[in-house]
Structure 1
Amino acid sequence: MDFKRIEVIFLIVFGCLNIFLFASYKQNQHVETVNNDDVSQNTMILREMHNDQITVPTLANKVQSGYYLSSHSSQALQTASQRLQNQRYSFSDDRLYSRLVRPISAKDGKYTEALKEILTNPRMIALGTHYRYSKLFSTTDRIVYTQKLPEGDLYDAQGEIIFQVTNKQIVSYEQTYINKVTTLREKEPTITEKQAVLSLYSNNAIANGATIKWTALGYSRLLDANNSSVYIPTWFIGVENKNSGNIQIKRINAFSNALMKASDDANLSSSVSS
């Protein structure tokens, strides 16, 4: 047996193994350094928020996922509204405006209970089963329902029902609806709840003394083009103002971590009563 040859082969294999182990060690060391840098930066930002007297709840570090979605202009709501009864309605820019002939009363202010039957009746609300109640976006005089998508909830002016409450009665509502939703890309990871809140602070979008009241991940519109709209996962963050007690809703792009401009829809962008 050629022991010299075996010895050479052994040395070569041993050398390759050492090179592989050394490369793996350096790579892990780099990843650990990056992770440590992220943790240190997050800790520093949280400390700054504490110094600015900003109250922050426990924030999750869980990575979620979502899609780029697209929808095209459709007449689905206009078509379904032809069955409506006991109301006077009209359309403006694909938004339905309706005033009820008989206002809806609710015992003890439980409007969502009163609306359960209404939403399942296509003669009262067109496509009503496609929406769910949103406590986060509702106020004492506005009961908000957001459109449900297979990929998640849509928090946008193009897919909602807003019931108006006057003198403890639901007297009118406005409604929008998107149809023919398609995915543009494969599912992608989103930033975490913690990353979204820290990014909001880094963009100077949280005033001193404010309180982070809630966060929610849903889809909102990124852009409109050629009679279609693109939607992305978005972190919505409710920030309570220290002086007024009102809650202002901010948005962070859950893919790019960028601060998004205020929506043109009042219930998703302006201050609401806490």
Structure 2
Amino acid sequence: MDWKKTETIFIIAFLILDIFLLVLFIDSRMSSAPTPLVSQTLEEKLKSENITYGKIPSNPEKGSYLSTEPIAFTQKDINGLKGQKISVMNADQRIYSVLTKPVKIDPEKYGADLLPFLKRDVFEGDRYTYWSYNADRREMTFNQKIDGRPVLFNTNGQIVFNLNKDNEVISYQQTMLGDTQLFDEKDDVISGTDALEVLHQHGDLKQNSKIVNTTLGYYNLVSLPSSDVYLPVWAFEVKHDKQTTFLLVNGLEGSVINTSDEQTNTQRQSAVSLHNEELSS
């Protein structure tokens, strides 16, 4: 018998056995190890809670805290406004106008057929943008723009058109904010998606909700004796159980804003219907 050949065969066999046992050991360790948690994306979390939404603006934005205050209208401001009987009230800070000839519009066109009248017959009318239509009160609201963005939930920068039962504008009230002053250099505003995630983490989005609209605008944070302070905010119009609410996120600090003041709550109720889809594009 060739003992050397036999010895070699045994050595090779033991090596194969060792390798086999090592593979079994590694497999058993891997199978018993805990499975790592997979982090869900925001999209997956919202889907699991049946929270639906449309297009969320994603373009980079800049903004800043700023101050402004209502202006007092002068006789010169209203002299050129034809085809209407105008009164100025509230320390000259509110125009009340009754049209000589009503203007026929279609409320479902999001104020598009009112734009010619705004530009032609309303003081600085091109500085306002469509916000909402309240069918129960027959009121169509346009909000003033600051830095290209609408002023939100503030009666000091609005035009409210009153319609009759034939969908004709018969009168309007106008207020206006004056020049703005920045508190600091413009800074980055968080994205609409990041603001949505802030709301979700804060627990403000209920299951089975629908985010109807997302708007980046300016919100009156605090009123001072000399002026009012505004900041850029993301406003989410959310429908849940046939009720509509607006949820706000500070665009600079990424925190939820508690809109509990009476003025905001009143306007949240009056802005329930028909929003301009262009605001979310």
Q: Could you state the TM-score of these two structures normalised by the residue count of structure 2?
A: 0.68
CA contact (8 A) 1:250 1:269 kept: no
CA contact (8 A) 1:77 1:126 kept: no
Q: In structure 2, how many angstroms separate the alpha carbons of the residues matched to 1:226 and 1:57? A: 40
CA contact (8 A) 2:57 2:214 kept: no
CA contact (8 A) 2:64 2:252 kept: no
The alpha-carbon deviation at position 160 of structure 1 amounts to 1.7
- Listed as ranges, the matches of 1:17-166 within 5 Å are 40=39, 43=40, 46-57=43-54, 59=56, 63-76=60-73, 80-81=77-78, 83-84=80-81, 86-92=84-90, 94-106=93-105, 112-121=111-120, 124-134=121-131, 137-140=132-135, 141-150=138-147, 152-157=149-154, 158-166=156-164
Indicate the SS of the match to 2:194: helix
> Deviations along 1:164-207, whole A, 9 cap, x unmatched?
22211112222211112111100111111112112222333222
Q: In structure 1, how many angstroms separate the alpha carbons of the residues matched to 2:62 and 2:219? A: 15
Q: In structure 1, how many angstroms separate the alpha carbons of the residues matched to 2:214 and 2:51? A: 15
Structure 2 unaligned regions, length at least 5: 1-37, 275-281
CA contact (8 A) 1:104 1:171 kept: yes
CA contact (8 A) 1:71 1:229 kept: yes
The alpha-carbon deviation at position 211 of structure 1 amounts to 0.8
What is the identity, as a one-letter code, of the residue corresponding to 2:211?
I
Q: In structure 1, how many angstroms separate the alpha carbons of the residues matched to 2:151 and 2:164? A: 26
Question: 1:101–1:109: structure 2 CA closer, same or farther, 3 Å change rule?
Answer: farther
Question: 1:73–1:171: structure 2 CA closer, same or farther, 3 Å change rule?
Answer: closer
What is the identity, as a one-letter code, of the residue corresponding to 1:259?
V
- Listed as ranges, the matches of 1:203-242 within 5 Å are 203-241=202-240
CA contact (8 A) 1:104 1:114 kept: no
Rg larger in 1 or in 2?
A: 2
Aligned length: 228
Q: In structure 2, how many angstroms separate the alpha carbons of the residues matched to 1:200 and 1:155? A: 18
Quote the residue 2:186 is aligned against: 187
What is the identity, as a one-letter code, of the residue corresponding to 2:227?
S
- Which region of structure 1 is more displaced relative to structure 2, 202-211 or 263-272? 263-272
- Which region of structure 1 is more displaced relative to structure 2, 65-74 or 216-225? 65-74
Q: In structure 2, how many angstroms separate the alpha carbons of the residues matched to 1:48 and 1:188? A: 30
Q: In structure 1, how many angstroms separate the alpha carbons of the residues matched to 2:65 and 2:197? A: 23
Could you tell me the percent identity over the aligned residues?
22
The alpha-carbon deviation at position 210 of structure 1 amounts to 0.6
Quote the residue 2:273 is aligned against: 273
- Which region of structure 1 is more displaced relative to structure 2, 213-222 or 60-69? 60-69
CA contact (8 A) 1:156 1:219 kept: no
CA contact (8 A) 1:73 1:178 kept: yes
Question: 1:56–1:120: structure 2 CA closer, same or farther, 3 Å change rule?
Answer: closer
Structure 1 unaligned regions, length at least 5: 1-38
Q: In structure 2, how many angstroms separate the alpha carbons of the residues matched to 1:105 and 1:77? A: 29
What is the identity, as a one-letter code, of the residue corresponding to 1:220?
Y
Q: In structure 2, how many angstroms separate the alpha carbons of the residues matched to 1:61 and 1:258? A: 18
Q: In structure 2, how many angstroms separate the alpha carbons of the residues matched to 1:155 and 1:187? A: 19
Indicate the SS of the match to 1:65: strand
CA contact (8 A) 2:209 2:239 kept: yes
- Listed as ranges, the matches of 1:169-184 within 5 Å are 169-184=168-183
Quote the residue 1:197 is aligned against: 196
Q: Could you state the TM-score of these two structures normalised by the residue count of structure 1?
A: 0.69
